[in-house]
Amino acid sequence: MTTGPHRSLRRAVKRSLVVATALASTAPLVLTAAEASPARAAACSGYVGLTFDDGPSANTPALLNSLRQNGLRATMFNQGQYAAANPAQVRAQAAAGMWVANHSYTHPHLTRLNQAQIDSEISRTQQAVAAAGGGTPRLFRPPYGETNATVRSVAARYGLTEILWNVDSQDWNGASADAIVQAAARLTNGQVILMHDWSANTLAAVPRIARGLAGRGLCAGMISPQTGRAVAPA
């Protein structure tokens, strides 16, 4: 025969077991921060620099939407004349998490200009981007990739690091979306690809570029002003 105290103790133990079982059954629902955000938790095996020259343009809104929808950030090498004419698009670039950089004011062959002319091209673009709300650029890409000691010294005077590229998408030369995707597939850790803001084929390639990078464990990073290589976003 079970006495009262023993019966109470048995009921208490039984209730404890029921509670423990219930907690155990719900334990998988208690996730760590990393488990709750798998995209954020996914480790990047390396970073690449996606760059778009010659903006902002009429294509900029669609490009920014595609980059955001595909979880990509990029460096936008803007022409000063277009930044001055389209300040809202410069602000949109910055608001979308892009890095806004200097691509000269009128896209001339800088190596054919004198120092004062080079200075004007670079300084006016710094002013146009900043006035439009894109911040003060820290990166500079010379038009056509043409540079020399004078161009570099003027850029350095404005605190700019010259950035060229490791992979040319050839979108400026009419490359198809397939060819642009294939070019991006050649990127390795730290490298930079040249693309253009106005290219319809590049816009079409963005989702596939994103999938290709993710498949190789690569993430779109910022370009370091110290090294000129793509690194994790600050």
Q: Which of 53, 54, 171, 197 is catalytic?
A: 53
Q: In degrees, to the nearest 5, what angle opens at C-alpha 86 toward C-alphas 117 and 65?
A: 125
Contact call for residues 210 and 71 (beta carbons, < 8 A) = yes
Cα–Cα distance between 160 and 121 in angstroms, integer? Answer: 13
Q: Which of 75, 32, 86, 21 is nearest to 52 (CA)?
A: 75
Catalytic residue among 54, 103, 196, 197: 196
Least Cα distance to 161 among 143, 141, 147 occurs for 141
For residue 142, cis peptide bond before it (omega within 30 degrees of 0): no
Active site residue 53: yes
Round to whole Å and give the CA distance between 121 and 123.
Answer: 6
Q: What is the DSSP letter of 97?
A: T
In three-state secondary structure terms, 48 is strand
The answer to whether 6 is a known catalytic residue is no
> Looking at the annotation, which residues are catalytic?
53, 196
